[in-house]
């Protein structure tokens, strides 16, 4: 396939008994199909709920039915005006609800998007 590059930064580690989840920020340098999913799987950290590149056994055990992948920030140039467009959203409630089962810090916490240049 085509070359691809993703910068990955760990933002949180949630650990409880034998379960461990890592929240990451992934900044795409290229835009290949399933790029984040493939790169995280290749480094041994597949995305929770990923039915193509993930760990089916873990998803079943945790009763996960959704892909835990969320674009909280997108910045791009408008194709006609070249104006910088910035779109950001908070982490979905279902992410917080799931994480709060394992770590009480997530009960009242809202993870805010961060600026990516």
DSSP string, 45-109: -PPTT-TTTS-HHHHHHTT--S------EEEEE-TTT--EEEEE-PPPHHHHHHHHTT-GGGSS-
Q: Can you give the pLDDT at residue 61?
A: 75
**pLDDT-derived band at 84, boundaries 50, 70, 90:** very high
Span 90-95, average pLDDT: 86
Please say if the pLDDT value at position 37 is more than 80.
yes
For the whole model, what pTM was predicted? Answer: 0.75
Cα 19 to Cα 60, 64, 89, 93: the distances in Å are: 13, 13, 27, 20
Q: Can you give the pLDDT at residue 107?
A: 57
Q: What is the pLDDT of residues 50-82, one digit of tens each?
A: 989 988 777 777 778 889 999 989 999 999 999
Span 23-51, average pLDDT: 91
For residues 50-64, one letter each, b for 16 or more C-beta atoms within 10 angstroms of the residue's C-beta and e for the rest, the string is beeebeeeebeebeb
Task: State how far the Cα of 81 lies from the Cα of 77, in Å rounded to an integer.
Answer: 8
Element (H, E) at 39: helix 35-42
Q: What rounded mean pLDDT belongs to the chain?
A: 83
Q: Can you give the pLDDT at residue 57?
A: 72
């Amino acid at each position: 396939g085509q070359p691809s590059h993703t910068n990955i930064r760990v933002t949180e580690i949630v650990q409880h008994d034998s379960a461990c989840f890592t929240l990451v920020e992934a900044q795409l340098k290229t835009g290949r199909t399933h790029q984040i999913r493939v790169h995280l799987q290749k480094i041994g950290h597949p995305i929770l709920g990923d039915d193509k590149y993930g760990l089916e056994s873990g998803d079943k055990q945790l009763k996960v039915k959704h892909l835990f992948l969320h674009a909280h920030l997108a910045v791009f140039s408008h194709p006609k005006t070249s104006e910088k467009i910035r779109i950001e959203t908070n982490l979905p409630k279902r992410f917080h609800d799931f994480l709060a089962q394992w770590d009480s810090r997530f009960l009242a916490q809202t993870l805010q998007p961060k600026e990516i240049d």
